[in-house]
Amino acid sequence: DIPAASRMTPQPGVPAEEAGAAVAAESSTGTWTTVWTDGLTNLDRYKGRCYDIEPVPGEKDQYIAYAAHPSDLFEEGSVTNMSTSIVGNVFGSKALRAPRSEDLRIPPAYSKTSKGPPHGIQVERDKSNKYGRPSLGCTIKPKLGLSAKNYGRAVHERLRGGLDFTKDDENVNPQPFMRWRDRFVFVAEALYKAQAETGEIKGHHLNATAGTCEEMMKRAEFARELGVPITMHDHSTGGFTANTSLAFYCRDNGLLSHIHRAMHAVIDRQKNHGIHFRVLAKASRMSGGDHIHGGTVVGKLEGERQVTLGFVDLLRDDFIDKDRSRGIYPTQDWVSMP
């Protein structure tokens, strides 16, 4: 089974038990009425089960509902299908005023059906020849408005100045002032020039996110032809299907993959509604990416120290034990996933 923890605020007059049952039913075999085709299958085998409900300390009318979903309900290796079921129509249930997916445990039997990250931390260190320290990089600013040539100039100055990598921001796509093919060429030139001047391996995250998967793959292929080692994809706006497709290509062609999380706050920022980032983090690790924005406890964006450190472990370690102080509800065993 895939057990999931959901924060729920029932509608006035709806008991917590009824709301919890609605969460489990809508995520599996349930619907709004009884149908005759229920007798044609084994509902006891395939239905989700709400097995525990606990109140949220300090919050009125909020509960954590624990529901188990049989793994047979999900397509093998499909983060898209898993998300459709666990965080799909249940969010429109009339029994709930506000639901939020807090966490889930992906069992090895299901996680092993996904290939996960194209390469992982160790392979990236081998490719970049950087050991014993974090990689140091930055995003090119201003993120919009530079010509392709000036963008490449900014990349070169930063790489020559000591950074290990630079990256496109999420907004950088083909725009009238800088088309993607021109940007790729000038960035590759800057990268090779900085490598020659410093004697170090350098990288740049080229944003391959596009309006279609076909266009995205075209950009990834051109990055490979130029020898730029890293592509980038916005997994929240681009979608898990596109992200997994790009991860497959990167794995087969020796490219590293960076996942940007633009739009995540629309989904995870509210405390009582949406999807917690730890759920998105687990889904992203399965979908495939060598690194991802995992949050920060400094800077301009919101973040909680212990919870952010919990994200880091979920994205990096093989085995993560249950630790509610860091927001980790169930134990997670990734086995050998990078």
Q: Is residue 173 part of a domain?
A: yes
Q: pLDDT higher for 92 or 319? A: 319
Among the residue ranges 33-42, 93-102, 209-218, the one predicted with the least confidence is 33-42
Q: Averaged over 53-58, what is the pLDDT?
A: 92
User: Which pLDDT does position 298 carry in this prediction?
Assistant: 66
pLDDT at 299: 57
Same domain, 53 and 199: no
pLDDT of residue 325: 85
Output the domain CATH number for residue 99: 3.30.70.150
Is 141 considered catalytic here? yes
Burial of 230 (0-12, 13-18, 19+ CB in 10 A): buried
CA-based nearest residue to 274, from 83, 66, 102, 96? 102
Kindly state the average pLDDT of the residues 233-253: 94
In this structure, the answer to whether residues 89 and 162 fall within a common structural domain is no
66 is in which domain, residue-wise? 2-104
| Amino acid 30: pLDDT | 67
pLDDT band at 306 (very low <50, low <70, confident <90, very high): confident
The closest of 85, 80, 89 to 69, measured between CA atoms, is 85
Q: Mean pLDDT of all residues in the chain?
A: 90
Same domain, 298 and 228: yes
Cα–Cα distance measured from residue 68 to residue 59, given in angstroms and rounded to the nearest whole number: 24
Are β-strands 165-167 and 274-275 bridged in parallel, bridged antiparallel, or unpaired? unpaired
Task: Clarify whether residues 126 and 100 are in a common domain.
Answer: no
Closest CA to 232 of 248, 218, 216: 216
pLDDT at 136 > cutoff 70: yes
**Residue 229: per-residue pLDDT:** 94
Categorize the per-residue pLDDT at 297 as very low, low, confident or very high, splitting at 50, 70 and 90.
low
- Domain co-membership, 145 together with 91: no
Q: Indicate which residue of 141, 143, 271, 322 is catalytic.
A: 141
User: Is residue 198's pLDDT more than 60?
Assistant: yes
SS3 260: strand
| The one catalytic residue among 204, 260, 264, 291 | 260
Average pLDDT over residues 49-54: 90
Residues 83 and 160 in one domain: no
**CATH assignment at residue 194:** 3.20.20.110
* Percent of the chain with pLDDT strictly greater than 70: 96
Assess whether pLDDT exceeds 90 at residue 336.
no
Task: Say whether both 155 and 289 belong to one domain.
Answer: yes
pLDDT score recorded for residue 114:
92
Rounded Cα gap, residues 155 and 157, in angstroms? 6
**% pLDDT > 90, the chain:** 64
Asked if residue 289 is part of any domain, the answer here is yes
Distance CA 167, CA 68 (A): 40
Interval 334-338 mean pLDDT = 89
Q: How many structural domains are present in the chain?
A: 2
**146 and 46, same structural domain?**
no
Long-range CB pairs of 131-140 (<8 Å, 24+ gap) are: 135/164, 135/165, 136/162, 136/163, 136/164, 136/165, 137/163, 137/164, 137/165, 137/166, 137/167, 137/203, 138/163, 138/166, 138/167, 139/166, 139/167, 139/168, 139/169, 140/166, 140/167, 140/168, 140/169, 140/172
249 with 298, same domain: the answer is yes
Q: Which residues contact 300 (CB under 8 A, 6 or more apart)?
A: none
